[in-house]
């Protein structure tokens, strides 16, 4: 299938932050839908995008060299789960691993903060999805500083520079991953406070959504401004040309899905993936196999 890459990548590029220093969250409107006027149009484009992604992933898997790490961060009810479900719906499950990061276990807390991510990284040829990630270490832990105590970092090392140091370590880690063939793409699903309220209310109103409601989500909503500040600083400090942040408008789920799909297609396309070439020796073996099959 031929696609107009310029058209597709345009969706994503306007929300890509690859040099964060001057980034301001308030410049991005959570209700933005770009030039897409209708949900139907978005769904049509997404269906094409999903097919293209599936073809690219097949090559990624066959080539078995590169891997792609997709990181999703957001406030509650911004739509991380739905985005992962819709955007990756066409991808072969064998080539894809989703990892959801919850509050750290006691085993996790016995290690440095990147330890648990390391063992969840995608293998070569795979797409790895982090539903939340080590970025929680500069988000929830920054908003609730008492969480740092649980980590038992030696006291002299816990100074006012700790967040800056964590940003440096994360940047170094992502540079290391990039240099080893793992492409890193990060998505902040940017939902408005009003839309979050609407979604929480629908979790209360609709019985099929009741299970999604959690009292702790409501508690975190009380720290909205602190989280927005932490997100903005995180993006400023960790958006780089090699591992950019996409700040994706998230009040309209159909637009969110489209932007994320476009960013993934662009990332995979940048690798110029090819099916492995067959050597002349392998070709001979294939011919011999054909004879043996009596063709």
Interacting residues with ligand ATP (CB under 6 A): 76, 81, 101-104, 131-132, 136-137, 140-141, 147, 214
Residue nearest Mg ion, Cβ-based: 76
CB-closest chain residue to ligand ATP: 136
Residue number, 44 or 165, with CB nearest to ligand ATP: 165
Answer for which of 69, 76, 128, 196 binds Mg ion (CB under 5 A) is 76
Nearest approach, Cβ of residue 233 and ligand ATP (Å) = 17
User: What span, in angstroms and rounded, lies between the C-alpha atoms of 229 and 99?
Assistant: 26
Query: Nearest distance from residue 187's CB to ligand ATP, in Å?
Result: 13
Partner whose binding site includes residue 102, from Mg ion, ligand ATP, none (CB under 5 to 8 Å by kind): ligand ATP
The count of residues in the chain is 295
Shortest spacing between CB 236 and ligand ATP, in angstroms: 20
Strands 67-74 and 127-131, bridge-based pairing: parallel
Least distance CB 31 / Mg ion (angstroms): 22
Nearer to Mg ion by Cβ, of 76 and 174: the residue is: 76
Q: Write the burial class of residue 216 (CB in 10 Å: 0-12 exposed, 13-18 middle, 19+ buried).
A: exposed
User: Per rule CB under 5 A, is residue 136 in the interface with Mg ion?
Assistant: no
Q: Which residues contact 43 (CB under 8 A, 6 or more apart)?
A: 254
Could you give the residue ranges of the DSSP H alpha helices within the chain?
5-13, 39-63, 80-87, 106-109, 115-118, 140-143, 147-150, 162-179, 193-205, 215-221, 224-238, 253-269, 280-292
Give me the residues that bind Mg ion (CB under 5 A), please: 76
């Amino acid at each position: 299938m031929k696609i107009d890459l310029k058209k597709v990548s345009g969706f994503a590029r306007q929300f890509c932050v690859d040099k964060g220093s001057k980034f301001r969250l308030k410049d991005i409107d959570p209700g933005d839908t770009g030039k897409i006027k209708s949900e139907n149009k978005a769904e049509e484009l997404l269906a094409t995008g999903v097919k293209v992604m599936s073809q690219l992933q097949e090559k990624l898997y066959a080539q078995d060299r590169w891997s792609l790490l997709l990181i999703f961060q957001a406030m509650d009810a911004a739509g991380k789960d739905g985005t992962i479900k819709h955007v990756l719906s066409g991808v072969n499950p064998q080539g894809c691993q989703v990892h959801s990061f919850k509050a750290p276990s006691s085993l996790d807390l016995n290690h440095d903060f990147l330890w648990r991510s390391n063992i969840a990284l995608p293998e070569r040829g795979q797409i790895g999805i982090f539903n939340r990630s080590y970025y929680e270490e500069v988000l929830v832990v920054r908003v609730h500083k008492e969480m740092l105590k649980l980590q038992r970092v030696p006291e002299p090392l816990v100074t006012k520079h700790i967040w800056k140091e964590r940003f440096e370590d994360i940047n170094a880690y992502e540079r290391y991953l990039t240099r080893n063939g793992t492409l890193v793409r990060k998505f902040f699903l940017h939902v408005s406070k009003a839309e979050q309220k609407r979604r929480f209310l629908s979790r209360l109103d609709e019985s099929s959504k009741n299970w999604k409601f959690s009292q702790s989500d409501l508690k975190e909503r009380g720290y909205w401004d602190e989280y927005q500040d932490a997100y903005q600083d995180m993006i400023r400090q960790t958006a780089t040309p090699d591992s950019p942040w996409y700040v994706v408008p998230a009040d309209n789920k159909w637009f969110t899905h489209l932007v994320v799909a476009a960013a993934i297609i662009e990332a995979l396309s940048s690798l110029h993936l090819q099916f492995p070439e067959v050597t002349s020796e392998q070709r001979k073996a294939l011919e011999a196999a054909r004879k043996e099959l009596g063709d």
